[in-house]
Structure 1
Amino acid sequence: MAKKTSSTFSPAARAPIGCRHLLSLLVASTVLGGAVLTSARPAVAQATIETANFQIPAQSLSSAINTFIRQSGWQISYSSALVRDKTSTAVNGNLAPDVALQRLVAGTGIEVRISAPGSAALTGPAGAAIRAEDGSILLDTIIIQGANPNSTFEVPDAYVGGQVATGGQVGMLGNRDVMNTPFSQTSYTNKTIQNQQARTVHDVLANDPSVITNRSASRHDWETIRGFSNSGQNGGRSLNGLNGIAPIEFPGADYLERVDVLKGPSALLIGMGGAGHGNIGGSVNLVTKQAGDEPLTEVTTRFESRSQLGAHVDLGRRFGPNKEFGIRFNGAFDKGDTNVDTQHAKNGIAALNLDYRGERTRLSFDFAHETRDLNPISNIASIRSIADTLSKVPDAPDSSKSLFPSWAMRESS
């Protein structure tokens, strides 16, 4: 009977010493390479996480979460009692949304649980559940919030620097991002108004290269957008997206949150403005201020021209268990000499905004009154009717000289 034998091949036993070293080196390189690839995978996956630019100052945690929702597009669910009386941490810079949310709640004892891509839940520390006498756990009301990007009750976020916004009101389409609108639009923020000390809407529009304004002390004002004049009643302007109710002459900027400039034919979106001109070149929308979540009290004194003194008061408050009711008041008064000899001006503004933010209902009311008194009046002088009979056109008069008698005046409101 033949005897079966078995044998095994051992490279270490059969190979020469030099080959053994080479084989060991190959095996070690293979193991090390696999370890490197394995450890590198999380870094690659982390690099593909989308980031966003967050500009969220330290404030009440509920307000900070609302700002986070607008800037990230995430949906956050949390208990109202969980965030009550808590203050957030400031978050600034380009960050992944989950990292930004973790920083936002840092130091509050709140835990962040990512439930799905683009959504998270905020929970309290372990063992913080409240139990009833029968042993059941009492759950507080859960608030699930999301952002409607087209709602006109919230203004779009501003770009870094805060001078212009990422979108604006586009008539009946509501708020639209500049990247999702087949129009050229620019929305100047209240920060621009404050930094440039803009007194009227025309002071703000002077920033736009497509708009020409008659920034003078005359009795009329109008805009020329892309070469087309928006003269006539309201000058092609709208207030909070509604045509025909904006101030007729020289609207003040003290009670405005945004000045939206829409360039291009806009009669379909805004309506017929400019005394029936149809807003061929474009239109201007004025967005009024509303009360923020935090109380606001600002008093500003100012000086203009030769001896024109004034002051501006801005007050904002919210009331109710969930800050449903808001009130914002802006008042301004200026009086003194203008840059025209013997001319005096007296301007006054009183604007009140009331709003209600309910679970299913949003309401906003605006009441504003402006007065502008010039004495003597300024106007445009024209010699076109006699230009053909003159051999030489006379030099333009000094703009600091009044062409009207001292007793002439004009009041507008």
Structure 2
Amino acid sequence: MRRTLFLSIALALQVTATAAAAEPARVASEAIASQPLDAALNALSRQTGLQFVYNAQSAGNPRTPGVPAGLSADAALSRLLAGTGLRYRYLNATTVTIEAQDSASPAPTSSALAPAGIAVTANAPQPADVAAPSGGAGAQNLETIQVTGSYSRSLEQAVDIKRATVGFSDSIVATDVADFPEQNLAEALQRVPGVTIERSKGLGTKVNVRGLPSEYTHVSINDLATASGSGGRDVEFDMFASEIIQQVTVQKSPTAADEEGGIAGSVKISTARPFDYSERKLVFSAEGAHNSISEEVDPRFAFLAADTWGDWGALVSYSQSKRTNRTDSTSGINFRPSSRFLTASGTRGTQAQSVLLRDAGVNITNRNDSDQTNRVVFQDKVGDRVYLNEQDKWGATGSLQYKPSSTFSLTFDAMVGGYDSTEDEYDAAAYSASSRSTFDTIHEYDADTLSQYGMLVLRDVSYTATQHEMLSKERINKTDYGQYSMALDWKGDSWYVDALVGYSGAEKTSDYSNLKHVAYAPSRTRWTGDSGETIPSSAPGSIDMYNASDKYLFEAYETTLEKVKDDKYAAQVNVTRLLDLAFLPALHTVKFGARYTDRSKERQYGEAKITGPTAGSAAWVNTRTLADSPLQSISDIVPGGSYSHKRLDWEQVSNEYARGAFRYDGFYTPFDPGQFYQVDEKVMSFYAMTDFAFDIGSVPFTINAGARYVDTKVDSFGFHPIQRPDGSTGYTDTPVSKDGSYDDLLPSFNMTAELSPGLLLRAAASKVMMRPALTDVAYKRTASWSSYRFTDGNPELKPTYAKQWEVGVEKYLDNGALFAASYFRKNIDGVVINSLTGMVEDVAVYNANGSLNGIYDFDVYQPVNAKGSYEVDGIELVAQMPLGMFTPWLEGFGINANYTMLDSSLAGESDLGIKTPMPGLSEKTWNFTAYYENERFDARVSYNHKDEYVESIGYNLYPIYRDAYGQMDVSIGYRITDNIKISLKGINLTNEITSGYTMDPSFPTMYEASGRRISLGLRADF
């Protein structure tokens, strides 16, 4: 941590200055780069817990040589002071004096530094166990040490961590998290260089590192890999409150000691511990936030309390928030291949063939030839939706720490939380691809835009029997999260040992219902400038879909219930041996260790349909109309008025009424035994690595090299899908299991060379992996009846691997400025994609009323490891500079900016041979923050941008893109007193829209508005 010094007489440095400064010592073994002596002692203090005292007037502040990671305190001090004419002396077990070699007495000392936000004055008392200095230089002559919890200070702390960490990394600390406007941990992380987030309905949900998909990022909390209720390995960050987090480091080049490394990187989250603070600590914050669309005000508060007594310390933190957010969105406007109609039996198929020839000049010679029919596409549907999302979120951490000395600690950490979400969706949709419909008239077609792929797009079409739907959907999700760990840290003269045992678990229950009313009628659907629309056609019987409640017939009240349980147990031990070998002086450290994890994910699922007032009754089907239920306009059901996108207002049944009226007494959604699956995964890993430090000429080098061996065994069991002799499909009577296994050796290499004072050259190379999602390896089959497709799990999936390397330069200035540039390349093998692996013939498909829809052949898709590889390379640029370095009148102003640009080989995943980037990969991302602050006032504006990327590939044929998105956030704060601060924050001030398209922007797929949020908050720090 960097400090401002005034009239330097004496300096005291202590690890417990702030939690953010202390954290790196327990996350990674730090190297101390060449820098002024006071900064080097500060870094060593953070690692060892020692307090250093020296007379700055007589000793000066010489620049010290770099110190490699892993040295003992004595060895590090010897290297730091070599050639300076200074020596060190222990005054007691925790205090070391730095003095001239001919000095006969210790230098003056000072009290420990106070936490951020408190200034240590010149008259600080002298510790009782330190002898008073001779020569009359008493404690009253101590310098003032200015320590504030400012944003610039947090940036400097993050720079210190980046400089000291082995390999390429970036960090944010508690001040940065607390002072920026954000709704959860994901949104706090978007400030880190190379990090962007995925948004859903105005909320950051998942984290992307360097533009790569979120599932390529490995996440751990307090060094324990995090369980997730999502069904995959990607972590749902929206369930974590940012207030309970103390520090986050994104490590982009792993060491052998890291659990896996992650293809994109590893997000290492740390919570606070009591001995991170030098004295009792109490923090409280509260705020209210207003959403511009819902017009609701949401409360949020948090507190932290920490104290130590003797060898013991305890800390608790808690946060709770509510969020009510409304989103207006169009959706579902995707391509549908004309095979939907052309392969239909009877007149539906032949009429579609003749209309294409008549109105578009397209001659389909074989209606079953997919190469022809897949290249003529139409609009799947148009949906106008209003979402109202209400969230209750709470999180708490606790830490009990026993630390009798700076060389031993035993810590129990706990992190628990709950995330409850209720989402109401009101949907007016028109399915052009109705099972009863076909082409009537093609009003406009486009043979030019996608001609390079031989594709023709029907832009404006009338259909014979569009399926119009009024859908009232309700999703109730409840996630409970818990993580507990016990950590031991011991440091001897030449041996370090740390060990961890822990548990991480998440349980998520999802209760879904959909009240569905349907009206079949002719209509006309077409693309508009930013979405699509459905209007009446000229055919008899056509309707205005928004104002025809008496035409909509009840089809079903559908319910599903899903419960996912994810448990992970882990144990690890790391042993470090410090070496001083005469025959190999460059070898400083050998480190080795082992880790065992046991993870289990279990899923239960069931669905049921209500079609009448009692169980088994179908009295309401095709007899009850939408008008038979009490209707409310959208502007009355949800707060915020009419549908903002098209200024539409239509009437539907509220979910509150539907749940009470349609669920008869005794109704429940039973779990379906055939949908159960469980995956057990056991991993044993061993690693060994070394640290070297040597000079080539005047350039000091440090090298970290090692390898990790990983052995994985997977047992997946569930109810295997079968085909019965009568042609129907089902499941085995008893669970069927299948084992899988894989092992590999993952080498890593990291090097740092200090070319000149403050100028570092870094290089790294490694092999890393990401395991397949547990849902992908599970034995199960899911059906998409409208798409005529089965999707099966694949227990034989292997991980996705990457061979990667990176080289970069970093320039550190004494005023906290940083300039960095790096080039990286990743060769990614075994990417998991969904692929056609079989077919089930003659599957009966039924309508909701029980009538036979038809007999179809169902394609079977499975996740598989794709052949070939992706090559991804990119550059990352970072600039952090206080502008006062240029001119005094810019004192307090500063800039923090980063830019990441990627280039990837094209994969050709589409069955049409359309070359696309890796799904989820964004080629350009950048963040820019400008700030100003003084003792009382601070202000900052931040803009985060993520370029367009392929979100998915529709029907495995047509790439669907998410448009580029940029968001501006602002924070203004004023410190009323030294302990109390008020803040005004704004999220998405420019009211940006989330949008997407299929293959070309003229074919939009979605237009989603979630509004801006303004919050007013108060923070007290004692």
TM-score, reference length from structure 2: 0.24
Q: CA deviation at 1:167?
A: 6.5
Q: Is 1:279 aligned to 2:262, yes or no? A: yes
The 2-side partners of 1:207 and 1:320 are apart by 36
Contact (CA 8 Å) 1:237, 1:244: kept in 2 or not? yes
Q: Is 1:353 aligned to 2:341, yes or no? A: no
Equivalent position of 1:43 in the other structure = none
Q: CA deviation at 1:337?
A: 3.5
Q: Does 338-347 or 69-78 show the bigger shift?
A: 69-78
The 1-side partners of 2:422 and 2:202 are apart by 9
Q: Is 1:310 aligned to 2:299, yes or no? A: yes
One-letter amino acid of the structure 2 residue matched with residue 239 of structure 1: I
Instruction: Choose which of 192, 202, 222 in structure 1 pairs with 2:186.
Output: 202
The 1-side partners of 2:476 and 2:309 are apart by 45
One-letter amino acid of the structure 1 residue matched with residue 123 of structure 2: G
- Write 1 or 2 for the structure with the bigger share of helix: 1
How has the CA–CA distance of structure 1 residues 195 and 109 changed in structure 2, closer, same or farther, with 3 Å as cutoff?
A: closer
Q: CA deviation at 1:70?
A: 4.1
The 1-side partners of 2:156 and 2:396 are apart by 23
Contact (CA 8 Å) 1:375, 1:408: kept in 2 or not? yes
Contact (CA 8 Å) 2:183, 2:203: kept in 1 or not? no
Equivalent position of 1:216 in the other structure = 200
Instruction: Choose which of 256, 278, 284 in structure 2 pairs with 1:298.
Output: 284
Contact (CA 8 Å) 2:150, 2:175: kept in 1 or not? no
Contact (CA 8 Å) 2:392, 2:420: kept in 1 or not? yes
Q: Secondary structure at the match of 1:358?
A: strand
Instruction: Choose which of 305, 326, 343 in structure 2 pairs with 1:338.
Output: 326
Residue by residue, what CA displacement relative to the aligned partner does 1:141-187 show, whole Å, maximum 9, x if unpaired? xxxxxxxxxxxxxxxx999531363479xxxxxxxx42344532111
Instruction: Choose which of 242, 248, 251 in structure 2 pairs with 1:253.
Output: 242
The 2-side partners of 1:109 and 1:192 are apart by 32
Contact (CA 8 Å) 2:281, 2:305: kept in 1 or not? yes
The 1-side partners of 2:113 and 2:203 are apart by 50
- Write 1 or 2 for the structure with the bigger share of strand: 2
Equivalent position of 1:411 in the other structure = 477
Equivalent position of 2:167 in the other structure = 183
The 1-side partners of 2:423 and 2:150 are apart by 40
Q: Is 1:110 aligned to 2:126, yes or no? A: yes
Q: Percent identity over the alignment? A: 12
One-letter amino acid of the structure 1 residue matched with residue 219 of structure 2: R
How has the CA–CA distance of structure 1 residues 188 and 405 changed in structure 2, closer, same or farther, with 3 Å as cutoff?
A: farther
Mapping for residues 20-31 of structure 1, pairs under 5 Å? none
Equivalent position of 2:212 in the other structure = 228
Instruction: Choose which of 153, 163, 176 in structure 1 pairs with 2:155.
Output: 163
The 2-side partners of 1:365 and 1:351 are apart by 11
How has the CA–CA distance of structure 1 residues 221 and 393 changed in structure 2, closer, same or farther, with 3 Å as cutoff?
A: farther
Q: Secondary structure at the match of 1:325?
A: strand
Q: CA deviation at 1:125?
A: 7.7
Contact (CA 8 Å) 1:225, 1:282: kept in 2 or not? yes
Q: Is 1:238 aligned to 2:220, yes or no? A: yes
How has the CA–CA distance of structure 1 residues 107 and 89 changed in structure 2, closer, same or farther, with 3 Å as cutoff?
A: farther
- Unaligned ranges ≥5, structure 2: 6-10, 18-37, 53-89, 96-109, 135-148, 230-234, 329-385, 435-449, 462-468, 480-1022
One-letter amino acid of the structure 1 residue matched with residue 131 of structure 2: T
How has the CA–CA distance of structure 1 residues 107 and 408 changed in structure 2, closer, same or farther, with 3 Å as cutoff?
A: same
One-letter amino acid of the structure 1 residue matched with residue 424 of structure 2: P
Q: Secondary structure at the match of 1:376?
A: strand
Q: CA deviation at 1:287?
A: 1.3
Contact (CA 8 Å) 2:158, 2:173: kept in 1 or not? no
Contact (CA 8 Å) 2:190, 2:197: kept in 1 or not? yes
Q: Secondary structure at the match of 2:163?
A: helix
Q: CA deviation at 1:54?
A: 2.3
The 1-side partners of 2:387 and 2:14 are apart by 52
Contact (CA 8 Å) 1:199, 1:254: kept in 2 or not? no
Q: Secondary structure at the match of 2:416?
A: strand
The 2-side partners of 1:212 and 1:65 are apart by 32
Contact (CA 8 Å) 1:204, 1:259: kept in 2 or not? no
The 1-side partners of 2:204 and 2:470 are apart by 16
- Unaligned ranges ≥5, structure 1: 1-51, 93-102, 113-120, 127-156, 169-176, 273-277, 395-402
The 1-side partners of 2:122 and 2:115 are apart by 10
Instruction: Choose which of 54, 63, 67 in structure 1 pairs with 2:3.
Output: 54
Residue by residue, what CA displacement relative to the aligned partner does 1:245-287 show, whole Å, maximum 9, x if unpaired? 47831232121011211224x4844434xxxxx6212121211
One-letter amino acid of the structure 1 residue matched with residue 285 of structure 2: V
Contact (CA 8 Å) 1:187, 1:261: kept in 2 or not? yes
The 2-side partners of 1:62 and 1:75 are apart by 6
The 2-side partners of 1:201 and 1:331 are apart by 12
How has the CA–CA distance of structure 1 residues 299 and 288 changed in structure 2, closer, same or farther, with 3 Å as cutoff?
A: same
Q: Secondary structure at the match of 2:251?
A: strand
Equivalent position of 1:139 in the other structure = none
Q: CA deviation at 1:290?
A: 2.9
The 1-side partners of 2:280 and 2:168 are apart by 33
Q: Is 1:366 aligned to 2:417, yes or no? A: no
Q: CA deviation at 1:104?
A: 6.0
Equivalent position of 1:328 in the other structure = 316
Q: CA deviation at 1:213?
A: 1.5
How has the CA–CA distance of structure 1 residues 316 and 166 changed in structure 2, closer, same or farther, with 3 Å as cutoff?
A: same
Contact (CA 8 Å) 1:158, 1:165: kept in 2 or not? no
How has the CA–CA distance of structure 1 residues 392 and 333 changed in structure 2, closer, same or farther, with 3 Å as cutoff?
A: same
How has the CA–CA distance of structure 1 residues 182 and 308 changed in structure 2, closer, same or farther, with 3 Å as cutoff?
A: same
Q: Which has the higher contact order (CA 8 A, sep 6+)?
A: 2
Equivalent position of 1:140 in the other structure = none
How has the CA–CA distance of structure 1 residues 294 and 279 changed in structure 2, closer, same or farther, with 3 Å as cutoff?
A: same
Residue correspondences, number: 279
One-letter amino acid of the structure 1 residue matched with residue 414 of structure 2: D
One-letter amino acid of the structure 1 residue matched with residue 185 of structure 2: V
Q: Is 1:289 aligned to 2:272, yes or no? A: yes
Equivalent position of 1:174 in the other structure = none
Residue by residue, what CA displacement relative to the aligned partner does 1:4-39 show, whole Å, maximum 9, x if unpaired? xxxxxxxxxxxxxxxxxxxxxxxxxxxxxxxxxxxx
Contact (CA 8 Å) 2:2, 2:156: kept in 1 or not? no
Contact (CA 8 Å) 1:158, 1:164: kept in 2 or not? no
CA RMSD of aligned residues (A): 4.8
One-letter amino acid of the structure 2 residue matched with residue 358 of structure 1: K
Which structure has the greater CA radius of gyration? 1
How has the CA–CA distance of structure 1 residues 160 and 295 changed in structure 2, closer, same or farther, with 3 Å as cutoff?
A: same
Residue by residue, what CA displacement relative to the aligned partner does 1:60-111 show, whole Å, maximum 9, x if unpaired? x99968439645646545679x9xxx9768899xxxxxxxxxx968424639
One-letter amino acid of the structure 1 residue matched with residue 458 of structure 2: S
The 1-side partners of 2:198 and 2:460 are apart by 22
